[in-house]
Structures are given as structure tokens and as C-alpha cells.
Amino acid sequence: MSTIIWTDGRLEAAPHRQISLWNHSFHYGYGAFEGIRSYNVAGKSQVFMLEKHLDRLWTSCDEIGLTPNTTREAIADAVHEVLWANEFVDAYIRPIVFLGDGLGTLRDSRPIHTAVLAWQWDAKEENGRAFKLGISRYRRPDPQSYPSFAKATGNYLLSKTATLWATENGYDDAVLLDHEGFVSEASAQNLFMVLDGNLITPPESRCLKGITRATVIQSARSEGLEVHERNIAPAELLNADEVFLTSTASEVLPVESVDGQPTRQSEHQPVTKLLAQKYKDITENLTSPAGSK
């Protein structure tokens, strides 16, 4: 069965939908997207934090001056329709707002399209495996001069380049610093360090406003841990008791070393394990919001 996708209000078989070489977003990296998970809860797919992802999609579009050609409700329905049409239960869902053909000038701002794609999400090879991070020379640009923290397609040039750098240098992923040299995040995950039983993570002004990050902060506080959102100097990572990453795709991902130096609790990582388990508990017990299909 070929994958079914949703574009501009219609479900269609993915192979019938092609982007032309004249596509504006393809050339200029101009678009905004989301990465959403649905989980198998008692055999039914439950989409996690859909409203928060739609909020962020709208904020990202706003930051890059892109007006979606559809409504939040239409995308929310499309997410469910694509899951049903493909019979996906555990899945990764990717709504994307982008421009179609038109390479005349950078002023072109039409036609606007929205698509919702999804793919089956089986356990990934990194599940449970601790990551080796390397501090990359690539930095997130100054948010004053670039929409650094919109979830915009063009921003992933940096994430992609840093990931390639990490792989070539024997790391699993890169730590990106921000324009002032403080820790920002990994290529597509937020970063936390644990010091003396408390969590420290860069403030939202220095990283993508991660939805998993917010969930983990809430769980940590409910467990009585202190969470400090403050600037982190790269050298502090080398002295952390534990480091972990968070994202919709990789959930709570332990880190075993930074720049080749193991974190002090790299063997046991009690706080990371506790928060990973709390996250698992949340996703295993999702229920449909009232009124949803």
C-alpha cells in the first residue's frame, strides 16, 4: 500500500504528489513544519500534544511572515485522517506549510500550500542507547538577525550540517552553542544537564521551545526536583553529573559523554532514567481530548 498524504484539503496517494524544480521553498528554505508523535494506546492511535504543535506551527509561520492557507482545525483533522487512511497507530506526523512554484523574485509569496505526511514509527536504534555528543563549531545565529528559533525549513541547514560534522567526528550528535557562546541545544533536541540532583537547561530565549522539554520540566518539578532555566557555559557540560536530550522523536535520550569526556553519572544516570520513565508513563496513558474523533 502506498502512503496516503493530505495536501490542501485532499487525501491522495503520496507518489502522485511531486514538487517541481521551480518550487520556491525548495530553493530558499522557506517553510515551517512540525514533528508530532502518535502513540499506540490499547490499540488506538493517540496524538500527543497536538494543540501545542499547532500553536508552534502558527508561531513559526508568523516569525517568517508566512500565512497558512488553511486553519488549525483543518490540520488537526488532517492529522487524524492521514493516520486512519494509512492505518498508522505508532507514527510520526509532519505537517508542513510551504510555497509552490515561483522563482521570479524573493517577493513571491504565493501559492501557499499545506501538506500533512506521516510514517510508521517503530522503535529507533537509539532507543535506550546513550549518545556521545560533540560540541560543534557551528553556532545558532543571533535571533536579532535570523529567525533562529522558528521551526522553519531553512533552519535545518544548520542542524543538518552540524549532524554531519558530528558523525564524521565519531559523535552521535552535535551540541550547538548560540551566538554568544552559551549552550543552545543539540541538532534537533533540547538539552538538560543534571547537577547535584537538580536540572539545568538553557532558557527558551536560547533554544527551540521544545514541547518535550516543557513536559519534562513539569514532571521534574512534580517529582520535587528543582529546574533552573539559565545560561550554560560549554565547560559546565563536561562537569555535569548527567546530560540528556529531549524531543518528540527521541523522547528522553541519555548522553554518555561530551567531547569524549564521560558525564560523572554516565553509568547509572538516575535522574535521566526517572524522567524517561515518567515520560513513558505519560505517553502510555494518553486519552483522547473530550470531543475529539
Q: How far is the CB of 184 from ligand PMP (least distance, A)?
A: 9
How many whole angstroms separate alpha carbon 178 and alpha carbon 130? 24
Q: Name the residue nearer to ligand PMP (CB basis): 45 or 184.
A: 184
How many whole angstroms separate alpha carbon 9 and alpha carbon 87? 19
> What single-letter DSSP state applies at residue 177?
E
Q: Name the residue nearer to ligand PMP (CB basis): 112 or 188.
A: 188
Q: How far is the CB of 10 from ligand PMP (least distance, A)?
A: 27
Q: How many CA atoms lie within 13 A of 50 on its CB side?
A: 21
How many whole angstroms separate alpha carbon 33 and alpha carbon 198? 33
Q: Name the residue nearer to ligand PMP (CB basis): 85 or 227.
A: 227
Residue 253 contacts residue 41 (beta carbons within 8 Å): no
How many whole angstroms separate alpha carbon 175 and alpha carbon 46? 31
Q: Name the residue nearer to ligand PMP (CB basis): 4 or 50.
A: 50
Grid look-up 546513550 returns: 130
Q: Name the residue nearer to ligand PMP (CB basis): 4 or 53.
A: 53
Q: How far is the CB of 186 from ligand PMP (least distance, A)?
A: 7
Question: Which helix (H) or strand (E) element contains residue 80?
Answer: helix 72-86
Return the closest-CA partner of residue 293 out of 88, 77, 8, 83. 77
CA angle 221, 254, 158 (to 5 degrees): 100
Q: Name the residue nearer to ligand PMP (CB basis): 28 or 279.
A: 279
Positions touching ligand PMP (CB under 6 A) are: 35, 159, 185, 188-190, 208, 210-213, 246-248
Q: How far is the CB of 142 from ligand PMP (least distance, A)?
A: 16
Q: Name the residue nearer to ligand PMP (CB basis): 143 or 262.
A: 143
Q: Among the residues of 143-241, which ranges form H helices?
A: 156-168, 211-222, 234-238
Q: How far is the CB of 281 from ligand PMP (least distance, A)?
A: 17
Q: How far is the CB of 40 from ligand PMP (least distance, A)?
A: 19
Q: Name the residue nearer to ligand PMP (CB basis): 4 or 31.
A: 31
Q: ω into residue 203 within 30 of 0, thus cis?
A: no
Q: Among the residues of 152-290, which ranges form H helices?
A: 156-168, 211-222, 234-238, 270-284
Q: How far is the CB of 229 from ligand PMP (least distance, A)?
A: 15
Q: Among the residues of 169-256, which ranges form H helices?
A: 211-222, 234-238
Grid look-up 552521535 returns: 172
Q: How far is the CB of 86 from ligand PMP (least distance, A)?
A: 21
Side chain identity at 116, as an amino acid letter?
V
